[in-house]
Amino acid sequence: MSTDQADADLGADERRALADRLAGAGALSARWRETFEAVPRHLFLPPVYWEFVEGSAVPRDRGSDPDGWLAGAYRDTPAITQWDDGDEAAGRRDFTSSLSMPTMVALMLGDLDVEDGHRVREVGTGPGYNAALLAHRLGAERVMSVEIDRTVADLARANLAAAGLGGLRVLTGDGAQPDTGGAEPADRLIATCASLVTDVPAVWLDQTRPGGLIVAPSATLFGGGAVARLRVADDHRSASGRFTGSSDFMRMRQQRYQAPPVDAYLPGDWPGDAEASATGLDPEAIRASWLAQFAIGCRLPDLYYRRAPYGDTVTWWFFDTAVTSWATVDSVPGAVEFDVRQSGPRRLWDEIHAAWTAWEQAEHPGYERYGLTVTGSGERTVWLDDPDHHWSPPAR
């Protein structure tokens, strides 16, 4: 047996055990089980990766702990394979490439609803594991993947070749651009990086055939994310569908938001000209609900926040992207009212409170009640229960 074959065969028992867990949890369908058992996830991991466990990145080193390295490869956890776009001097501030949590991979592939003979375009190759699963299921010649990072794309090609799937086409380019690949529209498009709900690439409509499906995670600046499952209209001018569940993916590189410094909003000393008031809503209650953040973020897509702990008190800062308004709320444990400051032409906390109230009055709708419509002209509309019921802020 060759070294490559021995490495590919490694972890067979772990793959079966992972498939058992995913199937038992309802995430992995029978149609995908053989593929999950056949494709070695560890072949798509570098000698050192970081397993994301309970909010912490834990290093797994094959050289010093081969058993721990392999065990982490088959746990239901994300695996970080690149930090800071490969800038080693940055100090590992942000992870920028990874293998997604197997549960999320299985659920999104289930949402994709592929059939034999389908052609799939993937946006965001990463290390290549998701593309490998698609290639095993459909055939390597029916899958094309696009990766914006040249180093990551080269690594994915090598990983796929080691897994015996070197025939899969991996392009280096921007998956949100119309000229990537020059291929005819695919039956399915899947993204493994999150776009803003307000900026889902309209070009994906042209890259997917009429009646085809787009499965892509979307996020808001305010927080929260969900997987959208959109069907492309027969006239190719729009795609619409519901969200299927929560998600937390890395943002598309061209959509990363660089927030201006606080001084751009408040050039003098705090609280400046801010008006004081009080609220009964603790912003920590918003932080505790990924779903609430998603609902608020979809309703107020141009707002974001920062938390600043000071002892037991946490000051929440809220900003608009137009750099016109800001607000703060002081969260104090055990309090029933919280101090508010608001400045600028908008009252941001009042808008956030109103969005929270709208979500409560709608009886805390889950992700599956929200939907998204994207048009070729660039409109993106989030709706609740029905495409005609827009989940949008009141006119200002």
Residues belonging to the active site:
100
d(CA 148, CA 19): 30
Give the dihedral sign, CA 85/86/92/96.
Answer: positive
384's tokens: 């609740």
d(CA 213, CA 235): 14
d(CA 92, CA 175): 25
User: What separation, in Å, do the N-terminal and C-terminal C-alpha atoms of the chain show?
Assistant: 70
Task: Please state the three-class secondary structure of 306-317 as a single string.
Answer: EEEEECCEEEEE
Strand partners, 225: 219
Strand partners, 329: 316, 340
φ, ψ at 331 (rounded to 5°):
-95, 115
Encoded amino acid at 394, one letter: P
d(CA 21, CA 394): 45
d(CA 351, CA 257): 21
Nearest to 53 by CA among 27, 79, 21: 79
Task: Please state the three-class secondary structure of 302-359 as a single string.
Answer: CEEEEEEEECCEEEEEEEECCCCCEEEEEECCCCCCEEEEEECCCCHHHHHHHHHHHH
